[in-house]
Structure 1
């Protein structure tokens, strides 16, 4: 049960998140998942900001609400610690299904909607309570929209999340078979403030970064000038100005030309850019956690990753 409001939205969201809106029998065979009962197929949501498009903006997972014969989608955002349903969207749902109005309970300053939600593979999600984010989402006819909310880090706490980016499939489990686990290269993982902290290797040195499955504006964004200079072209830079929480922030970007890796796996850098900012709000927040950069899913499009919150490790292959 959700006891506390509000969402803990950190300044990492300047880089990480742009919000628009189980039992395991799956196996990995030759770098691909077999289609099993607990395999979840996901889609990408494109995001647009500042005149450019982010193709891999947000992971959308199919879900079904109890009592409604329609498949919806929810974003996977490990940067929040609970599940959310958009308030305007919920109003459209309860207009079409008035009985569900009884599932809303009022708390001091916020509402909670109770419903047993299932993933697209029919497995129930961990929590049956969704915090209502007021004045957000769509309120048109139910048939005209499908994204209804966000799934948070509570879905994978003390569990293991595998994401096969090539196949656009994921699995949530409690244990890996030995041969599965041995197929990954690992680096230590810290899970703090609902953020995933790990090391990125560049020029032989470790750089503490934060990764989130939710949207990242850039493949890599850093507050460390030395790191930026060491991995990018000295010339051919570009400037992006984006707004976050009403403040315009300037980023300097350039092509990544130096190999970067996680554990022992080199990441794809062709046509990938890194961006640097000196914005005080961003720098102060990241420096407070001794972080140098934020990375997004765009760096993993050729890989399968494992976010292992049982053994506190991040795996990649």
Structure 2
């Protein structure tokens, strides 16, 4: 009997250690790198630009950025699903070929030291990640929209973001009157808004990288919320080079984000996501994602430092 007890105890201990090891591994896996942005000044009423793809007119929000000494405007995608601000390696390398004095060489493999500005706000880091992504750009082509990187939520730890979708402008400020604001969760630089849909209370990830979609959920919830017999639309999506199948259908629902009721006219689910992405969704507690399209006629203010937001 003592032998069986020892075996059972050993199995229990091993199970606990495996679970703890797994938790620590995934906790570290999804923990973003230290925020090393140095930010000064503010940006007010900066014109946003919509990027379209596959017929989706609101596929991404692009913000104009400038480099000192270069009389050109470049663009970076605003992606609240990315915990870090980064640059696209292929784009930066081609840019450096023309502006060697303004764009330095890599500090080390896949890292670069840069300073850029949005309006009167300066953003600097000596360790910007260079992602093996993007395309070579030709700065002399003034008609092209040159997309060179992604702005992540590390910037939102430094500044309050105001997205005025109705007037297609945004601001990044240091202080604001937060009367009437709601609280939200901010875990590992992920923005989780409290929401209500039907009779469910939900935590929804605000991911502006999925800009052109209102609500992305799983297949089962998609079936529940979509309008029966509505036309189903299939399109291809791109997640850092990984091709996904995006399936959307009409909906006729009211979704409450914070204290604001919004019209939900479309619901989406995605095929082809990785096991790691699915695990991230489960472990983070989020029950779906919302993009910019849900807020098209509204103003969204997000203060990640104080975990406060407002939808107007």
TM over 0.5: yes
Q: Secondary structure at the match of 1:210?
A: strand
Q: Partner residue of 2:218?
A: 223
**Cα gap change, 1:95 to 1:9, in 2 (>3 Å):** farther
In structure 1, runs of 5+ residues without a counterpart are 1-7, 11-21, 25-36
Q: Secondary structure at the match of 1:39?
A: strand
Superposed displacement of residue 283, structure 1: 4.3
2:92 to 87, 90, 93: 90
Distance 1:283 1:217, change over 3 A: farther
Give the corresponding residue for 1:45.
51
| Of 219, 228, 238, the match for 1:234 | 228
Rounded Cα–Cα distance in structure 1 between residues aligned with 2:77 and 2:29: 16
- Give the match's secondary structure for 2:253: coil
Q: Which is greater in Rg?
A: 2
| Residue 239 of structure 1: how far off its partner (Å) | 5.5
Judged with a 3 Å threshold, the aligned counterparts in structure 2 of structure 1 residues 135 and 297 are, in CA distance, closer, same or farther, namely closer
TM-score of the pair, normalised by structure 1:
0.74
Q: 2:253 aligns with which of 258, 265, 269?
A: 258
**1:152 maps to which residue?**
152
Q: Corresponding residue for 1:206?
A: 201
Say what the alpha-carbon RMSD is for the aligned residues.
3.0
1:56 partnered with 2:54:
no
Counterpart Cα distance in 1 of 2:78 and 2:151: 5
1:283/1:156 CA distance change after superposition, 3 Å? closer
- Residue of structure 1 equivalent to 2:171: 171
Q: How many positions carry a matched residue from both structures?
A: 270
Cα distance between partner residues in 1 of 2:271 and 2:98: 48
Structure with the largest fraction of helix? 2
Q: Deviations over 1:124-148 (max 9, x none)?
A: 1254653222353224354354222
Residue 132, structure 1, aligned to residue 130, structure 2: yes
1:228, CA displacement in angstroms? 3.4
In the TM superposition, residue 79 of structure 1 has moved relative to its aligned partner by 2.5
Q: 1:308 aligns with which of 287, 303, 307?
A: 303
User: How high is the TM-score relative to the length of structure 2?
Assistant: 0.75
Residue aligned with 1:207, SS = strand
Q: How far has the Cα of 1:210 moved from its partner?
A: 0.7
